[in-house]
A and B are shown apart, each in its own frame.
Chain A
Amino acid sequence: MRITVTVNGQQRQADHVWAGESLLYLLRERLGLPGAKNACEQGECGSCTVYLDGEPVCACLVAAGQVQGRSVTTVEGLAAQRVQQAFLEAGAVQCGFCTPGLIIAVHDLLARTPRPGDAEVREALAGNLCRCTGYEKILDAVRLAASR
């Protein structure tokens, strides 16, 4: 099938899409946007987190056909750099594989709750796994971003 979708503000089109493939596959393999990562394909790790019509979702759990005519924002499309900068400064990026998903999740958290408490941060990021940092630096990064 043909999919037309707005990605990072631009109308994009992909042909011969298999209707059962995921939004993650569509983004990475057909639209050349490798920001969202693929680690588990079962919603457990959050490394594929993107905005779909303004809500963070696991791109691996959205069927490509479901995004027809909708709007997607990936880490490549985030205009503000506040969260990214805080992650770099706080040492919250090691291998970086979890980072794009976390950036989206934190971006959304701070948009809704500008000054989140630690419990709120932990709840908001519970669906984003990181194998490297032990999470403390990630919490530091969120606090830093929130303070700016």
Chain B
Amino acid sequence: MSTVDFLAPRTWEEALAAKAERRDALPIAGGTDVMVELNFDRRRPAALLDLTRIGELAEWGSDGSVLRIGAGVSYRRLIEELGGRLPGLAMAARTVGSAQIRNRGTVGGNLGSASPAGDAHPPLLAAAATVQVASVRGTRRVPVAEFFTGPKRSVLAPDELIEAILVPPAAGPQQFAKVGTRNAMVIAVCSFAISLDRERQAVGTGIGSAAPTPVRALAAEQLLAAARWDRPLPEPTVEKFGELVAAAASPIDDVRATAAYRRRALAVLARRTLRWAWEELR
């Protein structure tokens, strides 16, 4: 068995220095993606970079206008501690795996894996979140809409680590829905998140598992932003919203579903979550 160096930095500075020196080191947080790959010999990294001893990575805080969620905050804590302020993200977090997975898994790891099916991604897109990444070279902030570059690929450079996710607290109703074969323990066949900003009459959306990367449905957002927000939505607008969301996706046939099913299901999810969110507006 080849050896694996185990790097366990105690501080963020040490972690960045370690990653700069060992670009071949694979970061590990909750391990819920990494360990599956190691257990099945799909990956043999020369080194593991354990991020679980860095206290600040598991913290979150608020500077008033934006919540800063450390990359190492678990889904469980997100649900328990931030569910009120980020209902969309918390709803998505509740659907991740099982209690055991939510106890360990992190949003930073979800972004790191950059799976098109990652459940945190649609609500982060809908909420216009920003990913803060860092290296010894400095810190940069990437809008989540620009973070993903393809299936399991992101803008993260080999010497960079994800430090935090910056999300504005909900300014109105947020919803998330996911299609799968069970209510728990499923990778999304497709998923959809919506976020309404009551004051600004602005709309955010996020589509999961129906394109090479998580994507927004811009035309659908514009349709809603132009609607009258002080009354029930006309049924044709709801229908049109569903169509525009489905049109924004570019799904493929795979083991979980066909492209045609995904489009159809997305329109249903979009209409459903829109109705729920609109109901909450009033």
A-B contact count (CB 8 A): 96
A side interface size, CB within 8 A = 29
Query: Chain A residue with minimal CB distance to B94?
Result: A123
Option from A56, A68, A127 in Cβ contact (under 8 Å) with B185: A127
Contacts A43-B32, A123-B99; is A65 near B184 (CB within 8 Å)?
no
Q: Does B39 contact A (CB under 8 A)?
A: yes
Contacts A61-B32, A126-B185; is A19 near B100 (CB within 8 Å)?
no
B104 touches A61 (CB 8 A): yes
Max chain A Cβ within 10 angstroms of own Cβ: one of B101, B182, B183: B101
B40 touches A62 (CB 8 A): no
Which of B4-12, B172-180, B268-276 faces chain A?
B4-12
A56 touches B48 (CB 8 A): no
Closest Cβ of chain B: how far from A113's Cβ, in Å? 12
B183 touches A126 (CB 8 A): yes
B6 touches A61 (CB 8 A): no
Within 8 A of A (CB), among B1-56: 1, 3-6, 8, 28, 30-32, 34-36, 38-40, 44-45, 48, 50, 52
A44–B187 Cα distance when bound, in Å, is 12
Q: Does A85 contact B (CB under 8 A)?
A: no
Contact-size category for B: 20 to 34
Query: Chain B residue with minimal CB distance to A65?
Result: B6
Q: Does A57 contact B (CB under 8 A)?
A: yes
Closest Cβ of chain B: how far from A84's Cβ, in Å? 19
Q: Does B143 contact A (CB under 8 A)?
A: no
A22 touches B100 (CB 8 A): no
Which residues of A are interface residues toward B (Cβ below 8 A)? Answer: 1, 18-20, 22, 41-44, 46, 49, 55-58, 60-63, 65-66, 68, 105, 108, 123-124, 126-128
* Pairs A–B under 8 Å by Cβ, sample size 15: A18-B4, A20-B48, A22-B39, A43-B98, A46-B98, A46-B100, A61-B31, A61-B35, A62-B35, A63-B6, A63-B35, A63-B48, A65-B8, A108-B99, A127-B100
